[in-house]
Structure 1
Amino acid sequence: MEQQPGQPCIICGQVKEEGIVIVSHFICEDCESEMVHTEAEDAKYRFFIGRMKKIGLQKNA
C-alpha cells in the first residue's frame, strides 16, 4: 500500500500526516488534542465550533 502524503487540517490549515478524518475532512493530531482539552468557557472553544461547522457536524449550534 502506498503511503499518502500529508493532508491540510481543517482547523489549523497546516499539512500534516497524523490525525483523524471526519466526514472526509482531516483534523491533525495536534488540533484534535487541543479540542479535546479545551473547556467550553475558553474563547478558543467557539473557534473550534466554527471550524467544525464547515464539515456539517454542528447543524444547530
Structure 2
Amino acid sequence: MDLQEDCTCIICGEQKAEGIHIVSEFICDACETEMVRTDVKDEKYPFFIHQLKQIWYRKNA
C-alpha cells in the first residue's frame, strides 16, 4: 500500500494512511492494536467481532 493513500478503517470509520488490508477491507494500526489487546471478556469484544464480520459480508455481496 502507498503510505500516502488514506483508507477508511472498517472498525473506527476514520481515514488513515497506515494499517492492514484483509481481503478488500482496511483496518488501521490503532484499531488493530486495540483489537489484539482486547480480552474476550471485555465489553468491546463483540463490537470488534461484528465489525470484522463486515469483511465476509462485503466479500460475498
Specify if TM > 0.5: yes
Higher Cα radius of gyration: 1
How far apart are the structure 1 equivalents of 2:56 and 2:48? 13
| Number of aligned positions between the proteins | 56
Match of 2:30 in 1: 30
**1:8 and 2:4 correspond:** no
Calculate percent identity across the aligned residue pairs: 54
Q: Which has the higher contact order (CA 8 A, sep 6+)?
A: 2
RMSD: 1.7
SS of residue paired to 2:26 = strand
How far apart are the structure 2 equivalents of 1:21 and 1:39? 23
- In structure 1, runs of 5+ residues without a counterpart are none
SS of residue paired to 1:20 = strand
How far apart are the structure 1 equivalents of 2:3 and 2:40? 37
